[in-house]
A and B are shown apart, each in its own frame.
Chain A
Amino acid sequence: MQVIKGYRRENGKVGIRNHLLILPTVVCANQVCSRIQQKVAESVAIPHQHGCSQVGADKERTHKVLVGMGKNPNVGAVLIVSLGCEVINAEQVKAEIEATGKPVSWIDIQGEGGSVKSIQKGIDEANKLLQKIAAAPREDVLVSELIVGVKCGGSDFTSGLCSNPALGKAADILLHEGGTIVMGETTEIIGAEHLVAAKAVNQQVREKLFQCVKQFEQEVERMGVDMRGGNPSPGNIEGGLSSIEEKSLGCISKAGSAPLQDVIDFADEIPASGYYFMDSPGNDIECVSGMAAAGVHLVCFTTGRGTPTGNPIVPVIKITGNEITEKRMADNMDIDTSSVLKGKQTLDESGQEIYEAIIDVANGQETKAEILGHQEFSISRIGISL
């Protein structure tokens, strides 16, 4: 079986990167986090808009995503920065991340006495954490440990014709090797959910999937709008996609042909190997962030129109099927599948190429998004601000 180089964490999980993560528990701590991150090379920060004036399931989701980002095995150590009066409980975030065995430090801006002192102390703490993880060895681990998210964004007609089905072939290879595939984007299976559900391992999983789709569609009904224009987006429409059904039918092939093991909630930890569906918005950044928080190691992201999306802790491999985009946005694209449309490469050959890129990136090769410093992060909301 194929072997990759990974970081074996205290809890037995394997990471393919060794990031120091600087994590604000609330929007009010963003600037302090950014200043620390700027001063500590090799650290990544996840500024976000949330953490206060939230209640119920909405608050729980924000908490779950922040903890999940910290727990992701691509992260070697975490520095938490809180303000002190927010809704998110920093102590609990710390305890949950520490349960993985990785080093975690926490500073509180009100406790430290303002931004300047917090930044100074934060830089010291961050450097100490970096020293702790610098010597983490990369060891041989089986490819079956890999959890790969499959996502599409900035889709056009080529997404459904070549890049998504080619990614599906790569997914099949990884699943055959015992690995894990996670597909999200509930909004983007609308009109194709019967085909996804047909692969479910049992009736319960099938019903969960239909329920997720129903919830999203009910939201659209509640808003009283035609979702066309929002999804498919103006760019999707310019790229030839006429309805959400057409987009969805092109989307679903990226997960390959394996049975669907289960449907999990947004940012829930991936339970075992095989193919899983994560209930999530189609929004690129929210979906990739949810996958990262669920413990995905890397994301394969197909795009026809061309999008630069990255993530602070998870490498994102950009795959296009549009030869014009490949040329115009060469600095963002990792893999070009357009030769499939010209009959010069089969989907199987293209899928093999994607699979090999997954292995290379798992072994440490940087993606274009990593090289360019694309570290987009956002948390999807399911409630109002109070």
Chain B
Amino acid sequence: MAEQTFQEGLLCIVMHERDNVATLLKDVNKGEVITYIKGGESFQVTLIQDIKFGHKAAITSIRPNEVIMKYGEAIGTASVEIPMGTHVHVHNIEGIRGRGDKQNASN
């Protein structure tokens, strides 16, 4: 995993170029714009809901079943359509691993 350097005053961080989510470093309100750096370039996303410090925001539109990437690795799949600027968490993503519930359902 690539190492990220943190800069003073940053509102959020994207850990890897392949990521489709940013992690917020402060509480950010609906309508606020966050700036993130990916591959040396700077991008902006407008949050469409309030998102708390430490939680994740979609930095692209994510389709149902699409893999959610953080640290350049899969952390789950989207259970619904996730528009850009949306809070990404347990309500709209599923874990892939440690899913004994799914195992039983398919038996």
Cβ–Cβ contact A341 & B97, under 8 A = no
Cβ–Cβ contact B104 & A224, under 8 A = yes
**What residues of chain A lie closer than 8 Å to B3, measured between beta carbons?**
165, 347
**What residues of chain B lie closer than 8 Å to A221, measured between beta carbons?**
99-100, 103-104
What CA separation (Å) do A155 and B105 show in the bound complex? 30
**What residues of chain A lie closer than 8 Å to B100, measured between beta carbons?**
220-227
Cβ–Cβ contact B1 & A195, under 8 A = yes
**What residues of chain B lie closer than 8 Å to A220, measured between beta carbons?**
98-100
Encode contact with A along B13-33: 1 for CB under 8 Å, 0 otherwise: 101000000010100000000
Q: Which of A80-88, A234-242, A273-281 contacts B (4 or more CB under 8 A)?
A: A234-242
Cβ–Cβ contact A249 & B56, under 8 A = no
**Residue A245, interface by CB 8 Å:** yes
Cβ–Cβ contact A342 & B8, under 8 A = yes
Instruction: Please judge, given known A-B contacts A161-B23, A195-B1, whether A237 and B103 are in contact too, CB under 8 Å.
Output: no
Of chain B, the residue at the smallest CB distance from A226 is B101
What CA separation (Å) do A341 and B9 show in the bound complex? 9
Encode contact with B along A158-201: 1 for CB under 8 Å, 0 otherwise: 10111001000000000000000000000100111001000000
Cβ–Cβ contact A190 & B97, under 8 A = yes
**Residue from A191, A223, A250 in contact with B97 in the complex, judged by beta carbons closer than 8 Å:** A191
**Residue from B8, B53, B76, B104 in contact with A242 in the complex, judged by beta carbons closer than 8 Å:** B76
**What residues of chain B lie closer than 8 Å to A343, measured between beta carbons?**
5-10
**Residue B80, interface by CB 8 Å:** no
Which A residues between 281 and 329 are near B, CB-CB below 8 angstroms?
Answer: 304
**Residue from A231, A245, A250, A341 in contact with B74 in the complex, judged by beta carbons closer than 8 Å:** A245
Which B residues between 59 and 93 are near A, CB-CB below 8 angstroms?
Answer: 68, 70-71, 73-76, 88-90, 93
Of chain A, the residue at the smallest CB distance from B8 is A343
Bin the interface of chain B by size. 35 or more
What CA separation (Å) do A223 and B99 show in the bound complex? 10
**Residue A217, interface by CB 8 Å:** yes
Instruction: Please judge, given known A-B contacts A161-B13, A249-B73, A249-B75, whether A242 and B54 are in contact too, CB under 8 Å.
Output: no
Cβ–Cβ contact B98 & A242, under 8 A = no
**What residues of chain A lie closer than 8 Å to B13, measured between beta carbons?**
161
What CA separation (Å) do A157 and B75 show in the bound complex? 13
Nearest CB in chain B: distance from A370 CB, A: 29
Cβ–Cβ contact A225 & B93, under 8 A = no
Cβ–Cβ contact A191 & B74, under 8 A = yes
Interface hub of A158, A162, A240, A344 (most chain B Cβ within 10 A): A240
**What residues of chain A lie closer than 8 Å to B95, measured between beta carbons?**
226-228, 242-245
Cβ–Cβ contact B5 & A243, under 8 A = no
**Residue A156, interface by CB 8 Å:** yes
**What residues of chain B lie closer than 8 Å to A245, measured between beta carbons?**
73-76, 95-97
**What residues of chain A lie closer than 8 Å to B4, measured between beta carbons?**
161
Nearest CB in chain B: distance from A350 CB, A: 11
Cβ–Cβ contact A228 & B73, under 8 A = no
**What residues of chain A lie closer than 8 Å to B10, measured between beta carbons?**
343
Cβ–Cβ contact A342 & B6, under 8 A = yes
Of chain B, the residue at the smallest CB distance from A231 is B98
- List the interface of chain B (C-beta within 8 A of A): 1, 3-10, 13, 15, 23, 25, 52-56, 68, 70-71, 73-76, 88-90, 93-104
- 28 example contacts (A-B, Cβ-Cβ < 8 A) are as follows A160-B71, A161-B4, A161-B23, A162-B6, A191-B73, A191-B75, A217-B97, A220-B98, A221-B100, A224-B100, A225-B100, A227-B98, A231-B98, A240-B53, A240-B55, A240-B56, A242-B75, A242-B76, A243-B76, A244-B95, A244-B98, A245-B95, A246-B76, A249-B1, A249-B70, A253-B1, A343-B8, A347-B3
